[in-house]
Amino acid sequence: MFAAGGVSSSLGRAFLLVGIIGSLFGALASISSARSRDRTVARLIPRFSVLIFAAAIGAFATMEYAMITRDFSMAYVQKVGSTATPALYNFAAVWSALEGSILMWVLILAGYTVAVCFWLRKKMDDVLTNWAMGVMFIVSTFFFLLSFGPANPFAAGAPGVFDGPGPNPLLQNHILVLFHPPLLYLGYVGVTVPFAFAIGALVTGRVGEGWLLATRRWTLFAWGFLTFGIILGSWWSYEVLGWSGVWAWDPVENASLLPWITATAYIHSVLVQERRGMLRVWNLSLLVSTFSLTILGTFLTRSGVLNSVHAFSESAIGPWLLAFFAIIVIVSIGLIGWRGDRLHAPGSIDSVVSREGAFLINNVLFAIFAFVVLLGTVFPLVIEALQSRSIVVGAPFFDQLVAPIGIALLTLMAIAPVLPWRRASGELLSTRLFWPAWCGIGALALSVLVGATGFMPLLTFALGGFASGSALRQVVLATRRQGLRGFVGRANGGMIVHIGVILIAVALAASNSFTHSQELFLKTGTPAYFSGHSFELIKIVEETTDRAISVKALISIDGGKAYAPAITKYTKVGMNIGTPSVRTGIRGDIYLTLEPPVKQDSGEAHIKVFIKPLLVWLWIGGFLMALGTLLAAFPGRRRKPTDATSALIGSNDVG
Amino acid sequence: MSKSTKLNNKYSWIFMAAFASALLIFGGLRDSGPRSQQDRIDAITMRLACPTCQGESVYVSRASAAEAIRAEVARQVGSGLRTDDETIAYIEQRFGGQVLLLPRSSGIDSLVWALPIAALICGAAALGVVFRKWRTADDGAASAEDSALVEAAMASTNVTDANT
């Protein structure tokens, strides 16, 4: 069973085996506790969760140890390890290929399992808790098995290897590789928690609202990590790939966006269920979709059926993931069908022009958004299966279809936050939307004034201003009444997230519509001009390290500080990687890339300059989204149960 | 709210709508100046797929096949003989059919365009049906089931009262 190889190899396999057995027994203990109501069995559940977490840490640490000590007896270290990789990138090399990233998934999943167990330590004899833990353990069993079998990171390598190529040069080029994958995985795997509770609620028949409230923060954190992971991924793309873009609609990017879309729909529509008791089936379906899309995304991008910059290589995990995906979907649909009678919603909607009406429209838009992204991603597969011919569905397709959806969502973001529950009168809307609408007009007038053209970008800026007006209105009213506490709670934190989203929409519209580029041939001493800026080549420097030779062109922009776009040749892989250099500004970035060939002593450099308006606001928006998520997770001030439902929250504390 | 403010509000909304439309029309239609050759090259290469790199556009890719197409596009744009669409048709003819990033709108490929529209119609229809159903279904009166629940609850309260 243990492949011949070093100590690390056997130790790692042993840890994974302990993890499989621990997860299996954890699942058995959870389910038997749920059925027998036996408290002694229930007390075992936390122990199994600690056991699998310890096993996962052990396996991951073993892998890190092997990587850090450059144990080239292991196939994985031969593949992504190298004596020349700097320590930090070597640490991150563990998750730079398929087997290691599944191992990281295992670690994070075991971490979530133990965290949920700790959170519910006083409720271990509750049936719903037991079933939820059972689901967590079953999912853990699957991922431990995946890592033990088809995606084994501890396989022995060919003998006589003493060095390797190191990770893909693109993955040892920027510090963000340390953060982007773990954060994204914290998001992907975090979705397992609400999913487990959804299944628990269905099995026990307790489909009331209790479990939703209970898992609200888990969902929110998973969503926040997913959001932040995606933003960091775009940032990495911008800083490393050298085409000045942040999003390429690459299949792996789409795979991370899909669960984000359905999760976003869920965190909105769940409020309708909490408040009005409606949309139960729909919300369960959104949770199931989110979780199954994380698995489907992993299948699409890690099995080799679709190719992308992120796809590591072909592997045997495809059928496993597909089977797991099918089981999740069949079991979930079966359970929802079985509990159909209890899921029937008692409430009703009085008017389309109401908070719940807006949430419904929001959900339909997000559902269409998810459908478009999924369709575009898998359509080439369908065509290949049907007609064995290959086609490409690329960025222009997604851009064309997603732009109108984005406009519709921005419109909704402008109106929905001021809507009351149940119904709104025209007079109320007119009063509440008055100043936000003026913000929109202001944004539009400003854009026209500074020279923006085109209907779509102008509409985006106008709606962006309108929507930020509505979001700010909520925050201003809340802080006026409650002081600093007006920033926390989901309504107020949510509005901060909205402002972040609006900034991102505006930055994307501006940089997609108004980016200009120019190739310049520079000679030392003779500045060249583009778009009102001067570019002067100071000199070309060459740096040689163990792993690479890098050529940098020092270029002074507008006679100021020198920026240094570079081309780095990773000698072991024989691959040239361009590294852009960016002058960041509030109004726009200047993005420089060095184009090959470069000769050190020639005194000449061929560069490409991109002017990217407002791009920095994309990152600011991303940070605001993360901040807003944190604020939303803080408990806000609630209406006292004895107050009239129309009373302003916290209003009677003042008087 | 006094009547005059209401009137003001109504007129200011009309004014706002008119002002916004004027700005949109002016800003949307005004000439943004001639496009530079590089702008044209960028716009064209964003619509072409790099044949060797699976889904990346020529604009994005740094592969040599993409470099070749980029050079050809630059030559075509430089000569100034063809429009953007003609250049794309020319490149497609020269480099083979796999260079289009945008699926065709004919044959089975058109499904990729038709299905999202179908989804939009279904979504809107479902929304309409749901709103209509919800608004008519609940007239506020208690159903037989509700009455039964209330009776059961009353009965159990009586029992506790009797005990205390």
What are A538-576's pLDDT values in tens digits?
Answer: 989 998 888 888 999 999 999 889 999 999 888 877 788
- Taking only residues 109 to 138 of chain B, the set having a beta carbon closer than 8 angstroms to any beta carbon of chain A reads 109, 111-112, 115-116, 119-120, 123-124, 126-127, 130-131, 134-135, 137-138
Residue A462 pLDDT: 96
Express as a percent the part of chain B with pLDDT over 90: 20
Residue A536 · residue A555 · CB < 8 Å: yes
> How far is Cα of residue B155 from the mean position of the Cα atoms in its chain?
56
Confidence of residue A447 (pLDDT cuts 50, 70, 90): very high
For A513, the closest chain B residue by CA position comes to B43
How many residues does this entry show for chain B?
164
pLDDT band at A250 (very low <50, low <70, confident <90, very high): confident
Beta strands in A125-257 (DSSP E): none
Q: Taking the CA of residue A73 as centre, how many other CA atoms within 13 Å lie in the half-sphere pointing to its CB?
A: 12
Strand (E) or helix (H) holding A458: helix A455-482
pLDDT, tens digit, 9 for 90 and up, residues A79-103: 999 988 889 999 999 998 889 999 9
Residues of B in contact with A351 (CB under 8 A): 135
Judged by a CB distance cut-off of 8 A, whether residue A415 touches chain B is: no
| Contacts with A367 (C-beta within 8 Å, 6 or more apart), sequence order | A265, B119, B123
**Angle (nearest 5°) at CA A502 between A287 and A270:** 25
SS3 label, residue A538 = strand
Cβ–Cβ below 8 Å for B127 and A360: yes
pLDDT (tens digit per residue) in A183-241: 999 999 999 999 999 999 999 988 876 787 788 889 999 999 999 999 999 999 999 88
Compute how many other C-beta atoms are within 10 angstroms of the C-beta atom of residue A596: 12
Asked whether the predicted pLDDT for residue B138 surpasses 70, the reply is no
Inform me whether the C-beta atom of residue A448 falls under 8 Å from chain B C-beta atoms: yes
- How distant is the Cα of B85 from the closest Cα of chain A, in angstroms? 14
The per-residue pLDDT for A639 is 57
pLDDT of res. A312: 53
| Strand-strand pairing, A516-523 and A575-579 | unpaired
A578–B24 C-beta distance less than 8 A:
no
Q: Do A361 and B57 touch (CB under 8 A)?
A: no
**Whole-number pLDDT of residue B2:** 44
Helix (H) or strand (E) holding A611: strand A604-613
CB A105 within 8 A of CB A182: no
* Minimal CA separation from A117 to chain B, in Å: 36
In degrees, rounded to 5, the angle at the alpha carbon of residue A519 between the alpha carbons of residues A514 and A524 is 130
**CB < 8 Å to B103, chain A:** 379, 391-393, 397
Interface of B with A in 45-104 (CB under 8 A): 46-47, 49, 54-57, 59-62, 98, 100-103
Q: What is the pLDDT of residue A421?
A: 87
Residue B19 at interface with chain A, using a CB cutoff of 8 Å: yes
Q: Which residue has better confidence, A644 or A474? A: A474
Q: Decide: B126 and B82 in contact? Cβ < 8 Å.
A: no
- Is residue A565 within 8 Å of residue A537, measured between CB atoms? no
Lowest mean pLDDT among A310-314, B24-28, B73-77: A310-314
Cβ(A598)–Cβ(A579) below 8 Å? no
For A595, the enclosing helix (H) or strand (E) is strand A588-595
CB distance A117 to A42 below 8 Å: no
Inter-chain CB proximity A441 and B19 less than 8 Å: yes
- Overall average pLDDT of the A61-88 stretch: 92
Select the more confidently predicted residue: A34 or B156. Answer: A34
Task: Count the Cβ atoms, other than its own, within 10 Å of residue A69.
Answer: 12
Q: Which residues of B touch A441 (CB under 8 A)?
A: 16, 19-20, 23
CA angle at A299 for the pair A293 and A305, rounded to the nearest 5° = 130
Hey, are the CB atoms on B32 and A454 less than 8 Å from each other? yes
**Residue B116 to residue A371, Cβ atoms within 8 A:** yes
pLDDT in tens, A416-432: 999 988 888 888 888 88
Cα angle B122, B125, B128 (rounded to 5 degrees) comes to 150
CB contact under 8 A, A350 and B13: no
Cβ count near A163 (within 10 Å):
13
Give the distance from CA B27 to its chain's centroid: 22
A 15-34 residues with CB < 8 A to B: none
Non-local (6+) Cβ contacts of A569 within 8 A are A548, A549, A550, A575, A576, A577
Nearest neighbour of B109 by CB, restricted to A241, A347, A383: A383
Mean of the per-residue pLDDT values of chain A = 89
pLDDT at A350: 77
Tell which residue, B35, B9, B121, has the closest CA to residue A368: B121
Contact B101 A395 (CB under 8 A): yes
> What's the confidence (pLDDT) of residue A209?
66
A-chain CB neighbours of B59 within 8 Å are: 243
Q: What is the pLDDT of residue A651?
A: 43
**In angstroms, rounded to a whole number, what is the distance separating the alpha carbons of residues A575 and A92?**
20
Contact flag A458-B23 (C-beta cutoff 8 Å): yes
- Contact criterion met (CB below 8 Å) for A529 and A550: no
Nearest CA in chain B to A304: B54
Beta bridge partners of residue A516, listed in sequence order: A611
Instruction: Decide if pLDDT at B8 tops 80.
Output: no
Residue B65 with chain A: CB contacts under 8 Å: none
> How many Å apart are CA A133 and CA A145, to the nearest integer?
18
Q: Which of A:288-347 have CB within 8 Å of B?
A: 307-309, 347
CA–CA separation, A319 and A328 (whole Å): 14
Taking the Cβ of residue A440 and every Cβ of chain B, the question of whether any pair is shorter than 8 Å is answered with yes
CB-based contact A198:A288 (threshold 8 Å): yes
Look at residue B132 in the predicted model and tell me its pLDDT: 83
pLDDT at B11: 84
Query: What's the token pair of residue A117?
Result: 């167990």
Indicate the residue of B112, B115, B123 with minimum beta-carbon distance to A364: B123
Chain B interface, best mutation among A314, A351, A381, A391, by max B CB count within 10 A:
A391
Which residue has better confidence, A390 or A292? A292
Q: Give the largest Cα separation in chain A, rounded.
A: 84
Partners of A544 in the beta sheet?
A: A549
Integer Rg of chain B from CA = 32
Q: Please give the share of chain A, as a percent, with pLDDT higher than 70.
A: 94
Delimit the domains of chain A by residue range: 1-167, 395-514+621-635, 516-613
Q: Provide the β-strand partners of residue A553.
A: A540
pLDDT of residue B160: 47
Which of A280, A310, A348, A612 best tests the B interface by mutation, with the highest count of B CBs <10 A?
A: A348
Give the range with max mean pLDDT: A134-148, A574-588, B87-101: A134-148
**For residue B4, which amino acid is it?**
S
User: Angle, nearest 10°, between helix axes A180-190 and A192-204?
Assistant: 10
Query: Coil, strand or helix: which one is A112?
Result: helix
Please state which of the ranges A38-47, A68-77, A332-341, B150-159 shows the lowest mean pLDDT. Answer: B150-159
pLDDT of residue A650 exceeding 50: no
Contact criterion met (CB < 8 Å) for A352 and B112: no
| Tokens encoding A82 | 């190298």
Distance in Å, alpha carbon of A308 to nearest chain B alpha carbon: 6
Q: Is the pLDDT of residue A376 over 90?
A: yes
As a CATH number, domain B37-102 is 1.10.8.640
Per the CB < 8 Å rule, is A458 touching B57? no
Tell me the nearest-neighbour CA distance from B44 into chain A, angstroms: 11
A237 touches chain B (CB under 8 A): no
Handedness of CA A211, A212, A216, A219 (dihedral sign): positive
- Residue A240's H or E segment, with its range, is helix A210-240
Interface probe, candidates B10, B19, B21, B62, chain A, greatest A C-beta count within 10 A: B62
Residue A252 is inside which H or E element, if any?
Answer: helix A251-276
Residues 6+ apart with CB under 8 A from A358: A412, A415, A416, A419
pLDDT for B137: 57
Is A307's CB within 8 Å of B42's CB?
Answer: no
pLDDT at B149 over 60: yes
Instruction: Name every chain B residue with its beta carbon within 8 A of the beta carbon of A394.
Output: 49, 55-57, 101-102
Contact A441, A435 (CB under 8 A): no
Q: ∠ CA A504-A507-A512 to the nearest 5 degrees?
A: 120
